[in-house]
Amino acid sequence: MSLPLLFEIGTEEIPDWMIPNALENLRMLFEKLEVPHDTVTLDATPRRLVLRAEGLPEKQPDREEKVQGPAKSAPPQAVAGFAKKQGISPDDLTTETTAKGEYYVYMKKVPGRLTRDILADGLPHVITQIYFPKTMYWAGKNGPRFIRPIRWLVAMLGEEIVPFELAGVRSGALTAGHRRLGAREIAVTPSDYAQRLRDHYVILSAEERRTKISNELMAVKVKPDNALLETLVYLTEYPTPITGTFDAQFLELPEEVLVTVMRHHQKYFSVEDNEGKLAPQFVAVMNIPSDPEGFVRRGNERVLRARFNDARFFWDSDQKKKLADRVADLANVTFQAKLGSYLEKTERMKTLAAQLGGDADAVRAAELSKADLTTELVKEFTELQGVVGGLYARFQGEPEPVWQSIYDHYKPESMDDAIPRHRTAQIVALADKLDTLRGCFAVGMIPSGSRDPFALRRAAQGVVKIIVEGKLDLDLAPYLDNDALRDFFQDRVRYYFRDVRGFAYDEVNATMAIGWTNLVDLESRLERVQKLRTSPDFEPLAASFKRIRNILNQAKFQGGGTLDESLLEAGPERDLYDEQQRIKGQPIEHAIARVRPKVDLFFDKVLVNAPDARVRQNRLTLLNTLLAEFSTIADFSEIVTPS
Amino acid sequence: MASFQDIIFKLKQYWAERGCIIQEPYDTEVGAGTMCPETFLRVLGPKPYRVAYVQPSRRPADGRYGDNPNRLYKHSQLQVILKPSPDDIIEQYLGSLEAIGIDLRQHDIKFEEDNWEAPTLGAWGIGWQVMLDGLEITQFTYFQQVGGIDLDVVPAEITYGLERLTAFLQVRDSVYDIEWTKDFTYRDVRYLDELQYSVYNFEMADIATLWKLFDLHEGEATRLLKLYDPKSPDKKRFPLLPSYDHVLKCSNLFNTLDARGAISVTERVGVIQRVRKMAVGVAQAWADQQSDVAVAEVAQ
């Protein structure tokens, strides 16, 4: 008989962002119990992690276990003793011949365990092993750890409870509804579980909550924001969007500030008018089905008004001191204990910006870039650092390239984020990131594993992205004056081209092998190699180059010598030489189709390892020259070919 | 309409009915209700405890001369400690909101992750900020560690922001407009506190004097802590509570100096360390002192 399983961990509110990973973990841990089953469904709300599975057997199949007894030659007492120990008569024993001789064996019948018993033993461990980034204890110092206190447990196999206990909570058949609109105890079975929850204002499926929010958002034109949508899906059990308004006079404040308040502080969607400009409206998502009296809408409107008033208060009071006059105050803001204050960082950034080819605007922007760290608005909305500095600089009359550079200099904040909008801003962003990287590496703060408190990986990735996408003709080599930093960057460059841009790893290795610190050059070589690869001659040629490389290595060929034409043998060797002379200086794209047959023929007919040492040396020189000719864009021997 | 003080009465009544001692505010200035000995020291050790009190909490840097409708130098927290935390603690908490007239079927309540941490107290906990129609009205924390000590029994701490909660219930945009009683507004009662303390904290506090006071209180707390002897048969008499008062004084002086702009960033870390060292010292001595007291009580 096959049975459905219902397993629900009822908790106090779990942080929304941890839920999807916890569910995946729950699935993995359940699979480890090795209970056969058909489908598995995972669901979650802030107050419950749920695993449902279909088609579990009532019990494991019976099986036989072989117990080895004494040797056939053993005295009868020993045989009888063995049989007695197994609770059988000696007649029930069979014999078996092994490499060591003949033995009595008993084929013991082991009845399959009840699935319910396996689950009762296994599920408590499943629960406590779910990984969360930060856990707590609640039932005394030696109690279990979980993300939040566990308050109920539902564990049912078919109609029967899977009995176990964890942290003083006994598993049962009672779930809980919405905190205020549902009952605290609801009897459920695997078949009516989801419906019973719905009756008590809990929409179990995240997908359904997501759809409900999205559909009800259609009424207004909200700025799409999937991350916020996900947060709200896992912050509610019965989500319902409502639209509120705010006084249009707040639209005088910069849109960035308004959106940040709505998005990050209040978890509201912002709304656009028909021209795509910010409208004096917002959408909040409640955890109840309706707001007939408008209590929730008015409450949210008042909170937002207060928040906007705060922002305006900070904006106004910040204007009492210009950014330029705040730079000196950065002496009191620590960048990093060993690397000094932000004032010192600012000075270094100015120098770097000039070295990187930045103009006077770039240097000015570098000078002002960190001054917003002393403003009230940034202290309140730290995620707006840079943006606020840019807005203040504009307001205080700094030229456009300057304020825009300040505004953009933390970009890109992720691999999906855009790079700063123009060259000047790109230089300032590079100066900031390179300074942080060089400084941290110089004092030994090097990321390891998942430990990267200064987000140095992101900074290095940003440098790579800016240079490549901004097409900056810049050699990084002079700035990577630390071996560890150089290796670190090399990894980031490889990661960028391989994982972000999708180039094949051997193409990346091949092109990087002959130099990688000029990223624009590297990119163009990669693109050429990628195109070349589509040519039918490419991979065979690459294979030949690998062969050449091996031959040269084996011969410990040092290079340097000049080729002696008189030693060339007529036929394939001479032909290869002539071809090589003809293609000299030509792009590889034109050359490979012509060279490939000559190389093939050469290897087919000519013995490199000629008995005459001079001939041998001459042939090695020919191959070496050919290899060098083709190695201007990549080391083709790094290309992986099917062999 | 419920006045500011009505709301306080109702909340105190509600928690008194659930077994809480109703304490009066602590009489030394603190930055948060958590710092009062009723919380900071009582959560240590295995003994159950339940207490609720209103604590005026002073945050010198948050002063705004009485100009800002939402920000206060001194705001009032209702602090509830339930040790150990009952299983239905959140239900009890929601019940307290209903007791002050909030119909939660018509309002939106959410528990958003917000873990509390106080480096100067060597303390942290796991919890939420409770949002009511988008307004943060409560900080809810399960303490895990206090004074650098893993707690034997996990208490729940519920901290209500009383001004906000009242402004919400009375539908006021400015805390100064809330009715303390029918005849007096919050402004009538507290405006001068806000104005004068802002002037003092930001403009007139004498930095040298404050540092001198800091050093004096630190000296006294440190002197006492050095004298505490865990092996002394008389250790129950040892004045740890007065020692802790000096720590609280230091903490408030530090906050005032900070608001005054007298602490550079490099100094800051060091001063926080000094306060932390004293706070942790008191907590550890207290845990030691109380563990023996607890043992003695059990033995009786």
pLDDT the model gives residue A132: 94
pLDDT the model gives residue A631: 84
Residues B58 and B24 reside in one and the same domain: yes
Q: A545, A452, A542, A460: which is closest to A504 by C-alpha?
A: A542
CATH topology for A2-59+115-199 is Alpha-Beta Plaits (3.30.70)
Give CA angle at B17 (B14, B22), nearest 5°: 80
**Winning range, highest mean pLDDT, from A124-128, A303-307, A380-384, B268-272:** A124-128
Q: For A13, phi and psi rounded to 5 degrees?
A: -60, 120
Contact criterion met (CB < 8 Å) for A179 and B109: yes
A237: Cα separation from own chain's centroid:
28
pLDDT the model gives residue B16: 98
- Check CB contact of A286 with chain B, cutoff 8 Å: yes
Q: What is the distance between the alpha carbons of residues A194 and A216, in angstroms, rounded to a whole number?
A: 22
Of B108, B132, B152, the CB nearest to A141: B152
Pick among A303, A309, A341, A373 to test the B interface (most B CBs inside 10 A):
A303
- Check CB contact of A518 with chain B, cutoff 8 Å: no
B-contacting residues in A 152-191 (Cβ below 8 Å):
179-181, 184
Percent of chain B topping pLDDT 70: 96
- Chain B residues with CB inside 8 Å of A263's CB? none
Tell me if A289 sits within 8 A of B111, measured CB to CB.
no
Contact criterion met (CB < 8 Å) for B173 and A341: no
Instruction: Kindly list the distances between the CA atom of residue A288 and the CA atoms of A209, A240, A271, B71, B106, in Å, as whole numbers in the listed order.
Output: 12, 6, 22, 30, 8
Mean predicted confidence (pLDDT) in A178-194: 96
Instruction: With H, G, I as helix, E, B as strand and everything else as coil, classify residue A200.
Output: coil
Q: What is the distance between the alpha carbons of residues A392 and A370, in angstroms, rounded to a whole number?
A: 12
Q: What is the distance between the alpha carbons of residues B139 and B157, in angstroms, rounded to a whole number?
A: 8
- Check CB contact of A141 with chain B, cutoff 8 Å: yes
Token pair for A202: 């809990």
Contact criterion met (CB < 8 Å) for A180 and B94: yes
A59: enclosing H helix or E strand: none
Q: A73, A75, A65, A63: which is closest to A95 by C-alpha?
A: A73
Residues B215 and B171 reside in one and the same domain: no
| Residue A643 reports pLDDT greater than 60 | no
Tell me if A161 sits within 8 A of A155, measured CB to CB.
yes
A534 falls in which pLDDT band (50, 70, 90)? confident
B115-149 pLDDT, tens digit per residue, is: 999 888 889 999 999 999 999 999 999 999 999 99
Q: What share of chain A is helix, strand, coil (3-state, %, to 5)?
A: 50, 15, 35
Q: What is the distance between the alpha carbons of residues B143 and B115, in angstroms, rounded to a whole number?
A: 10
Residues B196 and B288 reside in one and the same domain: no
CATH of the domain at B255: 1.20.58.180
pLDDT the model gives residue B232: 92
pLDDT the model gives residue B295: 57
Torsion, CA A475, CA A481, CA A483, CA A484, rounded to 10: -90
Residues B114 and B214 reside in one and the same domain: no
Residues B137 and B263 reside in one and the same domain: no
pLDDT the model gives residue B292: 66
Residues B177 and B67 reside in one and the same domain: yes
Token pair for B80: 């509830």
Instruction: Kindly list the distances between the CA atom of residue B60 and the CA atoms of A282, B53, B55, B99, B244, in Å, as whole numbers in the listed order.
Output: 34, 22, 15, 33, 21
Q: Write a three-state SS string for chain B.
A: CCCHHHHHHHHHHHHHHCCCEEECCCCCCECCHHHCHHHHCCCCCCCCEEEEEEEEEECHHHCCCCCCCCCCCEEEEEEEEEECCCCCHHHHHHHHHHHCCCCCCCCCEEEEECCEEEHHHCEEEEEEEEEECCEEEEEEEEEEEECCEECCCCCEEEEEEHHHHHHHHHCCCCHHHCECCCCCEHHHHHHHHHHHHHHHHHHHCCHHHHHHHHHHHHHHHHHHHHHCCCCCCCHHHCCHHHHHHHHHHHHHHHHHHHHCCCCCHHHHHHHHHHHHHHHHHHHHHHHHHHHHHHHHHHHC
- Check CB contact of A45 with chain B, cutoff 8 Å: no
Q: What is the distance between the alpha carbons of residues B32 and B141, in angstroms, rounded to a whole number?
A: 14
Domain ranges of chain A: 2-59+115-199, 63-110, 206-318, 323-527, 535-638
**Count of domains forming chain B:** 2
- Chain B residues with CB inside 8 Å of A299's CB? 107-108, 132-135, 168
By C-alpha distance, the chain B residue nearest A18 is B113
Q: Would you give the DSSP letter of residue A444?
A: T
Residues B213 and B147 reside in one and the same domain: no
Could you give the count of Cα atoms lying within 13 Å of B228 in the half-sphere of its Cβ? 25
pLDDT the model gives residue B265: 59
* Beta-strand pair A150-157/A169-172: parallel
A321: enclosing H helix or E strand: none
Instruction: Kindly list the distances between the CA atom of residue B158 and the CA atoms of A14, A231, A574, B181, in Å, as whole numbers in the listed order.
Output: 18, 25, 90, 25
CATH topology for A535-638 is Isoleucyl-tRNA Synthetase; Domain 1 (1.10.730)
Mean predicted confidence (pLDDT) in A86-114: 86
Tell me if B247 sits within 8 A of B31, measured CB to CB.
no
E strands present in A446-573? none
Q: What is the span of the domain harbouring residue B110?
A: 4-200
A510 falls in which pLDDT band (50, 70, 90)? very high
Tell me if A595 sits within 8 A of A526, measured CB to CB.
no
| Residue B212 reports pLDDT greater than 60 | yes
| Residue B294 reports pLDDT greater than 80 | no
Q: For A283, phi and psi rounded to 5 degrees?
A: -125, 125
Written as one letter, the residue type at A539 is: E
Mean predicted confidence (pLDDT) in B243-251: 97
| Residue A216 reports pLDDT greater than 70 | yes
Mean predicted confidence (pLDDT) in A295-319: 92
B95-118 pLDDT, tens digit per residue, is: 999 999 999 999 999 999 999 998
Percent of chain A topping pLDDT 90: 64
Residues B60 and B196 reside in one and the same domain: yes
Looking at B200, B231, B261, the residue that finishes a domain is B200
Average pLDDT, chain A: 92
Shortest distance, CA A151 to any CA of chain B (angstroms)? 7
CATH of the domain at B12: 3.30.930.10
Residues B243 and B123 reside in one and the same domain: no
pTM: 0.81
Written as one letter, the residue type at A165 is: E
Looking at B142, B167, B200, the residue that finishes a domain is B200
Tell me if B92 sits within 8 A of B86, measured CB to CB.
yes
Looking at B200, B231, B257, the residue that finishes a domain is B200
Q: A355, A335, A351: which is closest to A343 by C-alpha?
A: A335
Residues B150 and B257 reside in one and the same domain: no
Tell me if B234 sits within 8 A of B294, measured CB to CB.
no
Residues B194 and B75 reside in one and the same domain: yes
Q: What is the distance between the alpha carbons of residues A224 and A243, in angstroms, rounded to a whole number?
A: 15
Q: What is the distance between the alpha carbons of residues A107 and A93, in angstroms, rounded to a whole number?
A: 8
pLDDT the model gives residue B296: 58
Residue A573 vs residue B92, higher pLDDT? B92
Tell me if A104 sits within 8 A of A69, measured CB to CB.
yes
Instruction: Kindly list the distances between the CA atom of residue B261 and the CA atoms of B61, B63, B172, B205, B273, in Å, as whole numbers in the listed order.
Output: 9, 14, 33, 11, 18
B-contacting residues in A 303-332 (Cβ below 8 Å):
303-306, 309-310, 313, 332
A423: enclosing H helix or E strand: helix A423-442
Cβ-Cβ contacts under 8 Å for A514 (sequence gap 6 or more): A631, A632, A633, A634, A635
Contact criterion met (CB < 8 Å) for A235 and B90: no
Mean predicted confidence (pLDDT) in A110-115: 91
| Residue A280 reports pLDDT greater than 80 | yes
Q: What is the distance between the alpha carbons of residues A461 and A449, in angstroms, rounded to a whole number?
A: 16
Residues B127 and B221 reside in one and the same domain: no
A18-70 pLDDT, tens digit per residue, is: 999 999 999 999 999 999 999 999 999 999 999 999 999 999 988 888 888 88
A569: enclosing H helix or E strand: none
